[in-house]
């Protein structure tokens, strides 16, 4: 089981909160709890009291283009869920917070940096038999002004990834070993679709995202344990220019969170095009 967050040696421990902290702030008007899941049926089946749902497909993505919502769309989303620019948002969800980290990453694109992850996610809350409800809360709409979407500091595009690989700079492929090797196009229990070619971007290190998690309760491993993985095994350093990727950018946002906030890496970008783009690009270099 995980030690307290303050005792794990993270560079930015305040980016995580415990289930106890969330339970104590359920009625705090300065905090908005947000559930983001892969499975859209989980939230209506029961969620943390007062939590709103942010659906990664319908709320965070453009309905036509493969891209994220724009500034106006983000402002409309924040108004609908009753969030102000000063409000603390706390994300949690299934899959050990894959989609919670993904949602947090998208919020960062628009400058809402007052955002945290509930350590352990939905799994830990349920393990502790904490209260759940099917009641969907309503909050007064806000007038939210966002910054223009930042597509440069924490996001990478295919041309940048190609240049990165050609220069031999660090790339981290957070998919399963079978996806990395080219044996699978997706995790084994999922439909094998989305790309015409399997393999990985040349030179990429394979560090499956789940290695950062304690499997018993979904909490993050200590900073020393994480450094042993990323620095001891893969020889990454906090000053490195790192690009992380997976299949569509959700698992890699989890690793982006670990490297950026828990280990304090200064320059980590998430390639959200990931393998569904790279594995379909004509002429893109692939290793197996």
Q: Tell how far CA 2 is from the center of its chain.
A: 20
**Dist. CA 272–CA 155, nearest whole Å:** 7
The number of CA neighbours under 13 Å toward the Cβ of 287 is 10
- pLDDT, residue 68, reads 96
Residue 178 included in any domain: yes
Q: Is residue 192 located within the same domain as residue 274?
A: yes
Q: Is residue 123 located within the same domain as residue 165?
A: no
Total number of domains in the chain: 2
Q: Is residue 118 located within the same domain as residue 183?
A: no
CATH of the domain at 195: 3.40.250.10
pLDDT digits (tens, 9 = 90+) for 25-45: 999 999 999 999 999 899 999
Residue 101 among the catalytic residues: no
Task: Say if residue 158's pLDDT is above 70.
Answer: yes
- pLDDT, residue 194, reads 77
**Dist. CA 47–CA 126, nearest whole Å:** 10
Residue 51: domain span: 5-127
- pLDDT, residue 2, reads 57
Q: Tell how far CA 73 is from the center of its chain.
A: 20
Inter-CA distances, 68 with 1, 83, 177, 272, 276, Å:
36, 19, 28, 10, 16
- pLDDT, residue 188, reads 78
pLDDT digits (tens, 9 = 90+) for 269-280: 999 999 999 999
- pLDDT, residue 192, reads 76
Q: At what angle do helices 250-257 and 98-109 cross, to 10 degrees?
A: 80
pLDDT digits (tens, 9 = 90+) for 256-269: 999 999 999 999 99
Task: Say if residue 160's pLDDT is above 70.
Answer: yes
pLDDT digits (tens, 9 = 90+) for 174-223: 999 999 999 987 777 777 777 889 999 999 999 999 999 999 999 999 99
Residue 138 included in any domain: no
Q: Is residue 116 located within the same domain as residue 167?
A: no
Q: Is residue 23 located within the same domain as residue 70?
A: yes
Give the angle subtended at the CA of 182 by the CAs of 180 and 187, to the nearest 5°: 65
Residue 193 included in any domain: yes
Q: Which of 54, 118, 236, 246 is catalytic?
A: 246
Residue 153 included in any domain: no
Q: Is residue 162 located within the same domain as residue 108?
A: no
pLDDT digits (tens, 9 = 90+) for 111-151: 999 999 999 999 999 999 999 999 999 999 999 999 999 99
């Amino acid at each position: 089981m995980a030690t307290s967050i303050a005792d794990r040696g993270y560079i930015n421990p305040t980016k995580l909160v415990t289930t106890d902290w969330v339970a104590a702030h359920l009625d705090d008007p300065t905090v908005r709890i947000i559930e983001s899941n892969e499975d859209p049926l989980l939230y209506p089946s029961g969620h943390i009291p007062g939590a709103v749902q942010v659906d990664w497909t319908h709320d965070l993505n453009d309905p036509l283009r493969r891209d994220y919502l724009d500034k106006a769309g983000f402002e409309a989303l924040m108004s609908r869920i009753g969030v102000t620019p000063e409000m603390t948002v706390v994300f949690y969800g299934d899959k050990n917070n894959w989609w919670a980290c993904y949602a947090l990453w998208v919020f960062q694109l628009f400058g809402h940096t007052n955002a945290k992850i509930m350590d352990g996610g939905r799994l830990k809350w349920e393990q502790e038999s904490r209260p759940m409800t099917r009641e969907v809360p309503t909050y007064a709409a806000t007038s939210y002004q966002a910054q223009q979407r930042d597509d440069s500091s924490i996001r990478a595009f295919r041309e940048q990834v190609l240049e990165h690989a050609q220069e031999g700079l660090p790339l981290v492929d957070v998919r399963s070993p079978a996806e990395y090797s080219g044996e699978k196009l997706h995790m084994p229990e999922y439909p094998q679709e989305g790309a015409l070619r399997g393999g990985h971007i040349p030179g990429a290190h394979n560090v499956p995202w789940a290695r950062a998690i304690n499997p018993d309760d979904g909490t993050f491993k200590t900073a020393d344990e994480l450094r042993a993985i990323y620095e001891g095994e893969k020889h990454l350093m906090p000053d490195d220019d790192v690009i992380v990727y997976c299949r569509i950018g959700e698992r890699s946002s989890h690793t982006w969170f670990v490297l950026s906030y828990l280990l304090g890496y200064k320059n980590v970008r998430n390639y959200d095009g990931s393998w569904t783009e790279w594995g379909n690009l004509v002429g893109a270099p692939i290793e197996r």
